[in-house]
Amino acid sequence: MPRLAHSRWTLVLWAVLCPGIAQAAESGLPAELHPWGRFKPGAWKLYRVVTETLDEHGKVVDTTTTFTTTTLQATDGPGVLVLRTEAVVEVSGKRLEAQPSLVRQGLHGETAGDKVSILPMTTGEIEIQGRKIPCKIVQVQTSGPNGATVAKTWFSPALAPYVLRRESRTTDATGKSVLSETILQVTAMHVPCDLVPNSDGASQVLVTTTHPKGKTVTKALTSTDVPGGVICHTAEEFDANGRLIRRSTLTLIDYDVTPKKDRSGLFNRLRARGHRSHRAPK
């Protein structure tokens, strides 16, 4: 079974869009600020990711298309979400359906066994399009057997998309080697979007992740009306020498805040479905 092409890009965005927020009793932040936590079980989204791998001359040598449905399966206790993922991968004209998987995670992205520590909340401000926005700032450290992540998040409880900036650093188990650093910043708000016509518009987000082997730059549109937040994105991955080695485009096909009526399997639904979609930003 080929590696699921969608995972590289969606995990990057989910990690940064699921901010370092603990349960309300610890941080004062409600689950409604989480891109999945604001929805009830049964909410889902279907999206397509096209990933191209390039050679040293910039020529595309491999293309993989993945269709993925993610569903909020349940809320397993306070501040814990269970997400179900179904995926179909298109390789050389053939569609291969993977076994469904379940991911159990906390509101700040931690998995079972991780330790979480939260510093007292402070205040500050973020400037977006010349507008200065008062924010609350929370810093969270999540640690597990493979290392630790320290994340600092600027958020506005009253202004979507709520999380306006996030800086995080992940180190190895020794704490001496930096595995990755990520900066998320909202660059524009109230962007018109056909997919969410009755909302206050989408938000434009820029995510830059650097690591010893290079960096990934992702440009996305997000909406608080869409389960998981992400409407579309483009991502480019560069090696340590700055050469583009991979690019990806995610497009939201369909979503709903209520359970899917058709449970005949993702493969059959894709074969029969007419769908709506939104073009990813350039």
Rg (CA), the chain: 19
CA 127/CA 256 separation, integer angstroms = 32
* Residue 173 bridge partners (DSSP): none
With a cut of 50, list the residues of the chain below it in pLDDT.
1-12, 14-16, 19-28, 274-282
Output the six-digit token pair for 65. 């298309």
Check: CB of residue 179 under 8 Å from CB of residue 207: no
How far apart are alpha carbons 140 and 22 in whole angstroms?
8
100: nearest Cα among 277, 274, 276, 260? 260
Give the pLDDT confidence score for residue 45 in this predicted structure: 95
**Residue type (1 letter), 260:** K
Report how far residue 35's alpha carbon sits from residue 18's, in angstroms, rounded to the nearest whole number: 7
Across the strands, what pairs with 11?
none
Evaluate the omega torsion of the peptide bond into residue 161 and state whether it is cis, within 30 degrees of 0: yes
Whole-number Cα distances in Å, 103 to 9, 89, 125, 183, 276: 16, 19, 34, 24, 27
Q: What angle do CA 278, 279, 281 make, to 5 degrees?
A: 125
CA distance 195 to 15: 23
| pLDDT recorded at residue 119 | 86
Q: What is the pLDDT of residue 263?
A: 54
Whole-number pLDDT of residue 31: 75
pLDDT tens, residue by residue, 171-211: 999 989 999 999 999 999 999 888 776 667 899 999 999 99
SS (H, E, C) 112-173: CCCEEEECCCEEEEEEECCEEEEEEEEEEEEEECCEEEEEEEEECCCCCCCEEEEEEEEEEC
CA dihedral sign of residues 113, 120, 185, 40: positive
pTM: 0.82
Residue type at position 123: T
